[in-house]
Amino acid sequence: MNKILFKGTLILTLTGFVSRVIGFFYRIFLSRTFGAEGMGVYQLVSPVLALAFSVCCGGIQSAISKYVAGEPVSHDYRHSFRVLLNGLFLSAVLSVLFAAVVALNAPFIATRILCEPRAEPLLRIIAVSIPFASLHSCMNGYYYGIKNTKIPAASQLGEQLIRVGTVFLLYEYSLSHHMQLSLACSVFGMLAGEICSALFTGLLVLVRFQRRLGRPSSPSAALGVLRKSPALHQTMSRILRMAVPLSASRVVVNLLSSVEAIYIPLMLVRSGMTNSQSLSVYGVLTGMALPFILFPSTLTNSFSVLLLPYISEAQEHVDYAKIRRAFRRTALCSLLFGMLCCILFLVTGRFAGTFIFHNELAGHFILTLGFMCPFLYLSTTMSSILHGLGHTGFSFVINTSALGIRLAFVFLLIPSFGIEAYLWGLLTSQLFCAAANSLAILHCLKKH
């Protein structure tokens, strides 16, 4: 099992590393093409995407991973097929409804909620991508559950390549025709990547189940596979029991994150900046510095994805000794890796800002946020263990409290101390998250 976990983490990490390298240079290209202010507008729509993921597929993906985790041992492909089909159905309904709401209300969301009319065309394109991204996420959840990381890794890399390639082709076309490249083109790349990755993963899922279950003679025969015990409504009930509280938690957290993202530029204006300056500072922080800081988290994110079904399977077999070992080793490795990254960012932060991004402010942000790494990486892995144990309520309280801390810094301190106050808030909230998640796991394990 440890070999499977290690191999899967290695595959996802290598693919994620390559994808992030591509994305890293892609962000440099975007920052130089659209400027810091354009990056600020681009980043304003990120909360909408995060909210869409929370509502349409976040909890469903985790539920699929948890309930198909036993397939490699039991070879119960009908059960896995039922779980995946129910998850896809739920995600499809939710994502289409969410996309319709965003598309029809794009002017209101852009002007009244995001307070930036230039975000309207971006929102309309994003709305089209939401159903594809949601279905792709659910299918990846199935592969993560059965510890097969090759397909999600390939689709992730393909998505990134198509996204960047599409934007680059549009850029070359605009140059050759002496046209100005629109910021909406960057979102067209996202749409193209999501469509292709969803179709690729969906085709492979169909081929896999066709081989495992046999080619059905008719559509009614295919449905007959799903009608066998346990009933479809029982499978749906199990998915909902885990997905609803987890999705509700993520929705609340992302709503608060959206408030944070919207009000940071507004509070910066209160601190004495112009609207253009506030968007530029916000774009440097979220479009340059934070992606640079989060670059090494490819490793911890990959490990966390596979840690959830690993912990779920150990809990199902009442092997809490294995869970305790996983907790100790994961905590130690996360802290050591975070400290190493912290030192790296302290040494290279100013160089990255001035040489890579051509922006001294980005270098200052990287230096300050480097101290966040040990707590950020520890919090990520500990949260995955909590989800694997089924204690999503703890995670909800912790994440909500951490966002409350950051919002307090945004509303109370940014008007007086500027963007520095938000950096302090990020450090404080990540320290709280890491400590609270670790204590919550220890509390759960004490009962066994």
Asked if pLDDT for residue 229 goes beyond 50, the answer is no
pLDDT reported for residue 136: 93
- Closest by CA position to 206, among listed 139, 270, 141, 296: 139
pLDDT reported for residue 217: 44
Amino acid at position 331, single letter: A
CA 193 to each of CA 15, 48, 125, 198, 276: distance values in angstroms, whole numbers, following the listed order: 16, 18, 13, 9, 31
Interatomic CA distance for residues 40 and 43, integer angstroms: 5
Question: What does DSSP assign to residue 182?
Answer: P
Asked if pLDDT for residue 347 goes beyond 60, the answer is yes
Chain position carrying tokens 């605009």: 174
- Closest by CA position to 327, among listed 300, 301, 307: 307
Contacts of 56 (CB under 8 A, 6+ apart): 91, 94, 95, 98, 130, 131, 134
Query: Which range, of 25-34, 380-389, 392-401, 411-420, averages the lowest pLDDT?
Result: 25-34
If one compares 249 and 327, the residue with the highest pLDDT of the two is 327
- Mean pLDDT across the stretch 415-433? 92
Q: How confident is the model over 214-227, as pLDDT tens digits?
A: 655 444 554 555 55
If one compares 285 and 353, the residue with the highest pLDDT of the two is 285
pLDDT reported for residue 8: 66
Query: Which range, of 36-40, 117-121, 416-420, averages the lowest pLDDT?
Result: 36-40
The vertex-136 CA angle with 89 and 285, nearest 5°, equals 125
Contacts of 294 (CB under 8 A, 6+ apart): 376
pLDDT reported for residue 77: 81
User: What percent of the chain lies above the pLDDT cut of 70?
Assistant: 92
Burial of 194 (0-12, 13-18, 19+ CB in 10 A): buried
Q: How confident is the model over 259-278, as pLDDT tens digits?
A: 888 888 889 999 888 888 88
Query: Which of 170-174, 249-253, 261-265, 268-272 ranks highest by mean pLDDT?
Result: 268-272
